[in-house]
A and B are shown apart, each in its own frame.
Chain A
Amino acid sequence: MNRLELAERLVERARKLGADEAEAYVLQSSSVEIHVVNEQADSVNYKDSGGYGLRLLKDGRMGFASSSDLDLSAADDIIRKLIDNTARHSRDEHNVLPQSVPGTADDRSLELYDETVKTTPIGKKIEKAITIEKAAKAADPRIVQIGWLQYGDGADEYAIVSSKGVKGEMRDTSAYGYIMAVGMESGSDGSPDPATAQTGNGLDVKAFLSELDPEYIGKKGAGYALRMLGAEDGATSELTGIFPPESGHSFVDLVADMISADLVQKKKSIFTGKLGEMVASDKVTIIDDGRLKGGMGSSAVDAEGVPTTTKNIIKNGRLEQLLYDCYTAHRGNTLPTGNAGRRSYTTRPGIGPTNFYLQKGDISRDEIIGSVQNGLYVTELSGLHASVDPVTGNFSIPCKGILIKGGELGRPVTNITVSGNIFDFFKSIDAVADDLTWEIQDSVIGVPTFRVDGIKVSGR
């Protein structure tokens, strides 16, 4: 039975066993993960997994269950248990499944799929991974060690069918390489001194295997480690902050998380009650574009089968739009924005960004650096999830950087944190560069280098 048929049968069974409405999502995915140690594959993992997620609506209650057992005969047990569980839910008039929009759920014009992700032999992929390590080591003799090296790829194929007429199949692929390069300076005996170790993360993600450049990833990791060599502990101070894409993306990602209508409606977001207000400086325009040609976050419809959209989230500093799925749109008396997403078949659809980016400005990164007398060029932010209070927006984020003196990059500093409040931070953005770069980790985030007037640094 193919995915679409299975999804149809699951919806049928759910209706038969008592659901008012039902929606099935069937996923089949195959992936490879390769870990390399000392230019050899140390561990190779293949995953060939599948499963389904089933939402059903009964008496105004929405239930969800998933299973990795694709045998339809086992599904009845799950559905019965699900119906029983759903009876415990609170009723909520906003629980809805979307009507299908004809000609959308099977629109695959924005699909990014590369056959070769599945067909390329494992040996070639291992070679690619080893090339990352070689490129990093070749970049400079001070790259003496590799802290982590991983290659991975995956192909997902899925079908979604609902009793409201949504019916479609989609697929996508991705391939990534990641290295943590370790640089060290020589000690008094001429051998590398671990006390001077600095690490650099090189990561890249592409939909097409041929576009993934292992040399670039290796060099990037090496370069990031090398620029931090000789770092000293930074001092407590107040400086002008410059955030290049490799650190600045974390802040845009934070907005992407908090702009969910679900969090806002439940008063869990810092954006609660802020729609229409100035939340950033007029230099800040943030866009969520689900229809960006070639974007890793693009698709014709979202995880509920609603067509995706392009919209300004923040326009010249003013908060204009939240991200909605069908539930929150119904509750907020507005239209869904096509921002329902799924991380896997095991979770209900949730709200998430598509291609989410800070619009670029018209000056160069060098001009921005040149404009700063006393500043910090932030190279790395860590542990954002542990460092930002999602209710108040207060943050205190450990980071590393390079001091700027008289418009020039100077010595690297570490063991510092930057702190403040997220609104104050966005309101203090006073320049945005023209180097829009896509950083793809959990979400697809685009960000150029930007400057922030006055950040609190704590250190020594």
Chain B
Amino acid sequence: MIDHDLLKKALAVAIGKGADFADIFVEKSLYNWVSADDRKIETDLAAERGVGLRVVTGGRSYYAMTNSFEEAEILKLAAYVRDAAGGANKEIGVIDLRQKDLGWEHPFKISAAQASAGPKADIVKRAEQRAWETPHAVQATVRYRDHERAVTLASTLNDSIISHTLGLTEFAVIVIVDKNGTRESGVFGRSFYGGLEKLEGKYAPEKIAANAAEMATIMLGAKDCPRGEMPVVFAPGDNGILFHESCGHGMEADLVEKGSNFAGQMDKPVASKLVTLVDDGTIPGYPGSFEYDDEGTPSQNTVMIEKGILKNYLHSAITAKKFGVQPTGSARRESYKFPPIPRMRNTYILAGESDPEDIIKNTPHGLYAVETGGGGQVNPITGEFITSIKLGYLIQNGKITHPVRGASIIGRGIDTLRNIDRVGSDLEITYSPGRCGKGQNVPVGVGMPTVRVKSLNVGGTGEAYEGGK
């Protein structure tokens, strides 16, 4: 995209006033959308290219970007950021950068950028057809999105150049049903670090549509979820969003630095002994995976909590230096328009020893949370978080009984982690559909086994909860 000599030249300008390090990020990407909505197929297309340049000095970061690939513009950008960061002029020798080898297979077997809209529209139509077969369907929406990003990072931090491909293929189906004036919806989505080849087998478009259809149908028979404090058993998989929100963010080192509720807790117990929480960027094909992060640090599987003890925060190079530790490969950016900051990748709780069926049997009453509502947020300072449950079931006398709809779950991160009293053996890491927003959107994965939390505040739309009564 841009000649390596020019990247070196720009870096030499950038560190010309004695910066700790500088990096330059070049990106050329194509974003495609194909949707079926209201029985209509449409597509969108976005071509993005740009250059972002960062100078870091004394732990402070200065960043600027341009859409131009012209030498004069890029050198001007470098000088601009250098001057913004300040410092005294310094003699800079020749910048020598090694090209890093890639160990991972190319993530896109079918290139999303090169594939035409035809096969993508066909896949969308297959899901659309299945979605409209749902009894009482009044609307069906299918969303296919992909983006393939060719990126090059040159950095004086590790004296290297890395060129690789990032991106995501996302597929989601929403079905709205209406039975005698009762209106409900079912939603199901999956996302992959890879191309069209992923939408097969278990993740074939019809299967994804069928999941949404089934959920809509069950929702029609659901009652309002009761409200109040109750034990909650979480089904495995996508509900891992609970840990992403309730504790993952508070362990991102830039938020720890600002006083998150996990600050000052290193090597201390922050969770039940049953809990080991990891943030893993190394599982090929998952939405939060990549070989190198956006500062050139190899991705890793970071143990955040080990048997209840806080072991690691998630670090960029900048925060790692401030904390006196090694970066964890967690520095990510949405695109060339943003500097990298510490982010989660695929976050999950490791499997425990309980039989998932026994967990339900041994819960006299409470809520079995099945489908997450897909969102949530956290106040990292106080640790107060929310996630929503779109579909759950009541547990009565150790048995799953009738479905309930629409509940928010709120709590404080560390309290919730300490209240976990059963962890199942059935870990599922999912190709979860979520992206995480923290000023910038990046794809993330989540996962968990069946987990029971002794007591959680459930904000349902139904009557006040009265335990087993």
Contact = CB atoms under 8 A, between A and B. Distances in A.
Interface residues on B, range: 35 or more
A459 B67 contact: no
Contacts, number: 234
A356 interface: no
A145 interface: yes
Contact of A236 (B50, B67, B227): B227
B457 A459 contact: yes
Nearest to B30: A81
B373 A386 contact: yes
A67 interface: yes
Contact residues of B: prevailing secondary structure: strand
A47 B65 contact: yes
Interface stretch (B10-18, B153-161, B380-388): B380-388
B337 A266 contact: no
Interface string B171-183: 0000010100001
Given A45-B339, A122-B84, A386 B39 contact: no
B121 A382 contact: no
A442 interface: no
A348 interface: yes
B441 to A, nearest CB: 13
Contact of A64 (B45, B59, B141, B405): B45
Interface stretch (A9-17, A164-172, A316-324, A387-395): A387-395
Interface residues of A, number: 77
A392 B184 contact: yes
Interface string A35-60: 00100111111111111000000000
Interface in B174-213: 176, 178, 183-185
B374 interface: yes
Interface stretch (A412-420, A428-436, A445-453): A412-420
B407 interface: yes
A394 B118 contact: no
Give the residue among A89, A458, A459 with the most B Cβ atoms within 10 A: A458
Contacts of B408: 383, 386-387, 396-398, 417, 419
B49 interface: yes
Interface string A250-280: 0000000000000001111000000000000
A70 interface: yes
Nearest to A460: B229
A81 B30 CA distance: 12
A254 to B, nearest CB: 15
A66 B373 contact: no
A49 B67 contact: yes
B214 interface: no
A343 interface: no
B67 A70 contact: yes
B168 interface: no
A114 B339 CA distance: 27
Given A383-B386, A386-B375, A147 B258 contact: yes
Contact of A415 (B47, B59, B388, B410): B410
A49 B377 contact: no
A352 B176 CA distance: 23
Contacts of B39: 90
Interface stretch (A103-111, A191-199, A302-310, A370-378): A191-199
Interface in B59-87: 59-67, 80-81, 84
Interface string B339-358: 10000000000000000000
A49 B61 contact: no
Interface in B15-56: 31, 34, 37-50
A398 B410 contact: yes
Contacts of A385: 375
Contacts of B229: 459-460
B64 A458 contact: no
B67 A51 contact: yes
A78 interface: yes
A88 B37 CA distance: 14
Contact of A348 (B37, B44, B48, B227): B44
Interface in B398-414: 405-408, 410-412
B38 A145 contact: no
Nearest to B259: A145
A182 interface: yes
Contacts of B261: 194, 197
Nearest to A417: B459
Interface in B114-129: 116-118, 121
Contacts of A197: 259, 261, 381-382
B464 interface: yes
**Which interface residue of B80, B117, B408 has the most chain A CB atoms within 10 A?**
B408
Nearest to A144: B259
Nearest to B32: A85
Contacts of A418: 459
A88 B118 contact: yes
A43 B339 contact: yes
Given A69-B49, A85-B45, A147-B258, A48 B65 contact: yes
A417 B227 contact: yes
B386 A78 contact: no
Given A50-B67, A68-B47, A348-B44, A386 B386 contact: yes
Contact of A147 (B121, B224, B381): B381
A267 B45 contact: no
Contacts of A348: 44
A386 B376 contact: yes
Interface string A216-245: 000000000000000000001000000000
A68 B63 contact: no
B258 A46 contact: no
Contacts of A148: 258
Interface in B221-277: 224-225, 227-229, 257-259, 261, 263-264
10 contacts: A63-B43, A88-B43, A89-B40, A182-B259, A346-B48, A382-B379, A389-B405, A398-B459, A458-B227, A458-B458
Given A65-B46, A236-B465, A391-B184, 20 more contacts: A44-B62, A49-B67, A63-B43, A65-B47, A67-B48, A92-B40, A147-B379, A182-B381, A194-B259, A194-B264, A197-B381, A199-B382, A266-B139, A387-B386, A396-B227, A397-B408, A415-B410, A421-B461, A460-B229, A460-B457
Pairs of residues from A and B, 8 with the lowest C-beta to C-beta distance, nearest first = A417-B459, A458-B227, A386-B375, A46-B64, A65-B45, A396-B459, A67-B47, A85-B117
